[in-house]
Chain A
Amino acid sequence: MTDIAITLTVNGVVRQVEVPGRRLLSDCLRHDLGLTGTHVGCEHGVCGCCTVLLDGEPVRSCLTFAVTVDGHDITTVEGLAAPDGAMSPVQRAFAECHGLQCGFCTPGFLCTVTALLRDNPSPTGEEVLEGISGNLCRCTGYQNIVKSVHRAAEIMAEET
């Protein structure tokens, strides 16, 4: 199988990589680029663990072939913190509200919620539920994740 050279901007850094056409974006990020923060829970598009931001929009990286995003901008969980390493409001809110247990689903939630709050900085309860309803968590029972999203909105409001 001939590999295809692609260029991605991942977390602000231009990365070049050669991948087979069938390489999933999730595998490319995790195994070719060493960004293992993006997790794979089902590889069939249901759990949301593998969610990353593609040009700012949340996508399932397990349903995306790496070659199809050649030239695009990708943000993974590793890219959510500020350049100085300070955690983003969403990350801080999850820590504050016990929004994670095993942490396996967490990167997907963080990316989803980051995009959600960018588009809607003060979501209602319903909008929060709707916003995270594409991500499975087997540990937390969601209550603290919901709380984290509201808290993140609050932190963002306080800090702007």
Chain B
Amino acid sequence: MHGEAAGGGGMTTKLFGEPVRRREDPRLLTGQGRYLDDLGTHALEAAFVRSPHAHARIRDVDVSAALDVDGLVAIYTWEDLPALLAQPLPLLIPHPALTHGRTAYPLARDLVRHVGEPVVMVVARDRYLAEDACALIRVDYEVLKPVVGVEEAARSARLVHDDVPGNVGAHLVQEVPSAAGLGAREAIEAAPHTLSFRLDIERSASMPLEGRGVYARWDADDQSLRVYTSTQTSTSVRMAVAARLGLPLPKVEVIAPDVGGGFGVKIVHPWPEELLVPWAAIALGREVKWTEDRREHFVSSAHERAQVHSVRVGFDDDGRVLGLDVTILHDHGAYTPYGIIVPIITSTQLPGPYRIGAYRVEFSSIYTNTVQVTPYRGAGRPQAVFCMERTMDHIAAHLGADRTAVRAVNFIQPDEFPYDQGLIFQDGRPLIYDSGDYPESLRMLKELIGWDSFPELKARAAAEGRRIGIGIGCYVEGTGVGPYEGGHVQITSDGRVHVSTGLTSQGQGHETVFAQIAATELGVPLERVSVVTGDTRRFGYAVGTFASRAAVMSGNAIALACRKVREKALRIAADALEADPGDLEIADGEVRVVGSPGAAIPLATVAVLSNPLRYAFDAEAARATQFAGASSFDRPPVAEGEEPGLEGRDYYSPLRSTFASGMHAAIVETDPLTAEIRILRYAVVHDCGNLINPMIVEGQIHGGVAQGVGGALYERMVYDEHGQLLNASFMDFLMPYATEVPFIETAHLQTPSPLNPLGIKGAGEAGVIPVSAVIASAVEDAEGIEIDRMPISPSELFDLRRSAG
């Protein structure tokens, strides 16, 4: 492992930083992608009987009627599971504050705690028949009264888990005193101005267009298992499967094929189905597959976002925040398999780009009888930014100041990095910002959106009877969390470069950006590089693709592995060319002596030289056999300390996260009659350090903003008091189409991260983070009515107008 400064490496084929076209596209554009459900043509198929009740005791399961279904193969309930598998699912990320972590059983045992919880698994010849059998299985439930709504749950005497008092799974306080040693509450009391308000955000969900899915093959002769799963973390699924099915790890392979979007929900593992489907494949000695349908995805995977925040802030006449005190109620749903990452992120990312005088944050994570909550793109940050940016807007309104001016007085300045926020971040490490330039970012954004000239525009619109408003939102995002990722690079004797890394891809273009990094580091044309991700056969150690970490973690690991290979190649080439390694460079796939054009040797030949062979199976190999000459009799064919082959492996493990940042602004128009909200313009200034591929980064921003627009205006999970999700379909859970998403204007600022060799920061989630805050700010500006809960629909705006008089 290394920690070199940014730059480094003699880069001759400069592909890093170029808007290179994606290498995965030809496959995906011609129908040749291989997503989970495209595999396993002859596999048996599974379907699940899921609870129709939010809270109930299972009295009896009667499968007799289902037994006659033609093509039925097996029916399993909890009682059929072997001891290891009959345990509750793992609690993946324990935390000392999570005193009452609870997870579900793979199939419900006695109790169900949300609609959609799996109770019975059916395996049949195909999915139609499996569903036929499901429909004939009778489950007798004693229906219990559910707990729905986070405030209701916090007050309620009724419990989601009998042994969790007050429904409180976790409670955590972090406090950073002022420089003078004042606590936040004291600082607020002492401040010239104070404000208190409440801010709400509704539930939404990742909602990738491809749902989840698992396909497993058991090789009885080899006693080995291969699992394909639509996951964001194949290596961890592998470990979970081995552990819970009692298999030796080397006998389990897990592959993430093409994955149709993840956005967080596919990081949860093991899903019950990821254990049950492989187990059934072993038990039946047949290939088994399960593909989630859309309704299942709504009621049995995971949601996020729902939180209630109470904010109290104290500030001076310039709007400088002297004290900030935030109390958060986090709705965790029925279980906590992924720990309390979401409220931890909200509470620690809340200060954003600002220097807060004194900060106190407290959250309680509450169980309810609803689908579990796990990270969705942005993971707690949209809520955090909504809190902080609404606070800035409130301060500006109170002082009658410009909203950007209030932000500017609070910014951490460029010369203050590294800046320690004094908090402990999601990775258990200190939250220290590595680099950034917030004043410049704001300057760029104001210019891009035309902030200073907006009042004239607004006045002109008003004169025409139109209401328009402008809003702004700033954020800092911890990206590239550890602990590590690795990369393996091999140059074969045909001159091709094979790169592999353990983390997965769900459409972010990893095949392209990792190839760009390898091609740049090794001085080879892009066409010669191939990349494999998420296949435990090729790379077994990895964490996963989430938290905007892929490029930072695997990108740097691959660069480091390439540098090892490069060094070895130079050493071997130096021998062959009788030159000093320091006089050599690699370009266009050749090792050359700098300044002497004739003296060069192809990398392919270096690869041949690196591997002394016994057998000549092709022309290249013939040149490497022991009778090919040029061997020295006083050295073994593979020198001590050497390995055959031109390959290298390295890992990148950062000291701590790197902090990307950005600012968004929008101009919206609200219809005076219908209260319809239209986004007229949307501008983004984004800083993720050095850009590997600006086209791909922009694509990530566009996608993020679109999801943010969904979160701000449309997406919400509507539960009734019985814990029924009333809108579990795309007809009723509204996601934006092309007609709802504005054109997004972007500008890039690059403050390289000093923490990693490539100087990069993550970009995957940025787009989504500030959107609700920006739209709220803009609607408030257009309407002159406080907006304190998101999403906001036209009918809600209409109601707000009425109650505002």
Chain A, Cβ-Cβ closest to B126: A31
Q: Which residues from chain A contact B259 at a C-beta distance below 8 Å?
A: 102
Q: How far is the CB of A33 from chain B (nearest CB, A)?
A: 11
Q: Which residues from chain B contact A140 at a C-beta distance below 8 Å?
A: 699, 702-703, 706
Q: Which residues from chain A contact B744 at a C-beta distance below 8 Å?
A: 141, 143
Q: What is the CA–CA distance of A22 and B126 in the complex, to the nearest angstrom?
A: 13
Q: What is the CA–CA distance of A26 and B25 in the complex, to the nearest angstrom?
A: 23
Q: Flag whether A78 is at the interface (Cβ < 8 A).
A: yes
How many residues does chain A have at the interface if contact means C-beta atoms less than 8 Å apart?
56
Across the interface, do B741 and A107 meet the contact criterion of CB distance under 8 Å? no
Q: What is the CA–CA distance of A16 and B66 in the complex, to the nearest angstrom?
A: 32
Across the interface, do B31 and A133 meet the contact criterion of CB distance under 8 Å? no
In this complex, the member of A137, A141, A146 whose beta carbon has the largest number of chain B beta carbons within 10 angstroms is: A141
Q: What is the CA–CA distance of A143 and B682 in the complex, to the nearest angstrom?
A: 12
Total A-B pairs in contact (CB under 8 Å)?
A: 171
In this complex, the member of B261, B705, B729 whose beta carbon has the largest number of chain A beta carbons within 10 angstroms is: B261
The interface-forming segment of B505-513, B656-664, B751-759 is: B505-513
From the candidates A38, A106, A110, A138, name the one contacting B263 in the complex (CB within 8 A).
Answer: A138
Which chain B residues in 167-214 approach chain A with CB under 8 Å?
207-211
Q: Flag whether A120 is at the interface (Cβ < 8 A).
A: no
Across the interface, do B507 and A137 meet the contact criterion of CB distance under 8 Å? no
Interface string of B249-293 (1 = CB under 8 A from A): 000000000111101000000000000000000000000000001
Across the interface, do A102 and B210 meet the contact criterion of CB distance under 8 Å? yes
Interface string of A47-60 (1 = CB under 8 A from B): 10100000000000
Q: How far is the CB of B317 from chain A (nearest CB, A)?
A: 41
Q: Which residues from chain B contact A31 at a C-beta distance below 8 Å?
A: 41, 126
The interface-forming segment of B458-466, B596-604, B622-630, B732-740 is: B732-740
Q: How far is the CB of A38 from chain B (nearest CB, A)?
A: 7
From the candidates A37, A102, A144, name the one contacting B261 in the complex (CB within 8 A).
Answer: A102
Across the interface, do A141 and B705 meet the contact criterion of CB distance under 8 Å? yes
Q: Which residues from chain A contact B743 at a C-beta distance below 8 Å?
A: 143
Q: What is the CA–CA distance of A87 and B214 in the complex, to the nearest angstrom?
A: 31
Chain A, Cβ-Cβ closest to B132: A1
Interface string of A33-46 (1 = CB under 8 A from B): 01111111111101
From the candidates B22, B261, B293, B729, name the one contacting A46 in the complex (CB within 8 A).
Answer: B729
Across the interface, do B707 and A138 meet the contact criterion of CB distance under 8 Å? yes
Q: What is the CA–CA distance of A116 and B27 in the complex, to the nearest angstrom?
A: 23
Q: Flag whether B589 is at the interface (Cβ < 8 A).
A: no
Across the interface, do A38 and B31 meet the contact criterion of CB distance under 8 Å? yes
Task: Tell me the dominant secondary structure on chain A's binding face.
Answer: loop
Across the interface, do A41 and B31 meet the contact criterion of CB distance under 8 Å? no
Across the interface, do A78 and B31 meet the contact criterion of CB distance under 8 Å? yes
Across the interface, do A138 and B731 meet the contact criterion of CB distance under 8 Å? no
Interface string of B97-137 (1 = CB under 8 A from A): 00000000000000000000000000000101000000000
Q: How far is the CB of A94 from chain B (nearest CB, A)?
A: 6
Q: Flag whether A71 is at the interface (Cβ < 8 A).
A: no
Q: What is the CA–CA distance of A106 and B22 in the complex, to the nearest angstrom?
A: 14
Which chain B residues in 207-256 approach chain A with CB under 8 Å?
207-211
Across the interface, do B29 and A100 meet the contact criterion of CB distance under 8 Å? yes
Chain A, Cβ-Cβ closest to B33: A103
Q: What is the CA–CA distance of A139 and B699 in the complex, to the nearest angstrom?
A: 8
Across the interface, do A139 and B703 meet the contact criterion of CB distance under 8 Å? yes
Q: Which residues from chain B contact A20 at a C-beta distance below 8 Å?
A: 128
Q: Which residues from chain A contact B559 at a C-beta distance below 8 Å?
A: none
Across the interface, do B26 and A34 meet the contact criterion of CB distance under 8 Å? no
Across the interface, do A103 and B507 meet the contact criterion of CB distance under 8 Å? yes
Q: Which residues from chain A contact B209 at a C-beta distance below 8 Å?
A: 39, 41, 47, 49, 102, 104-105, 136-139
Q: How far is the CB of B444 from chain A (nearest CB, A)?
A: 20
Across the interface, do B25 and A94 meet the contact criterion of CB distance under 8 Å? yes
From the candidates A22, A42, A103, A134, name the one contacting B128 in the complex (CB within 8 A).
Answer: A22
Q: Which residues from chain B contact A141 at a C-beta distance below 8 Å?
A: 699, 701-707, 741, 744, 767
Across the interface, do B37 and A40 meet the contact criterion of CB distance under 8 Å? yes
From the candidates B30, B38, B207, B729, name the one contacting A81 in the complex (CB within 8 A).
Answer: B30
Top 9 A-B residue pairs of the complex, sorted by shortest distance between their CB atoms: A37-B31, A102-B507, A104-B260, A103-B28, A141-B702, A141-B706, A46-B730, A36-B38, A101-B507
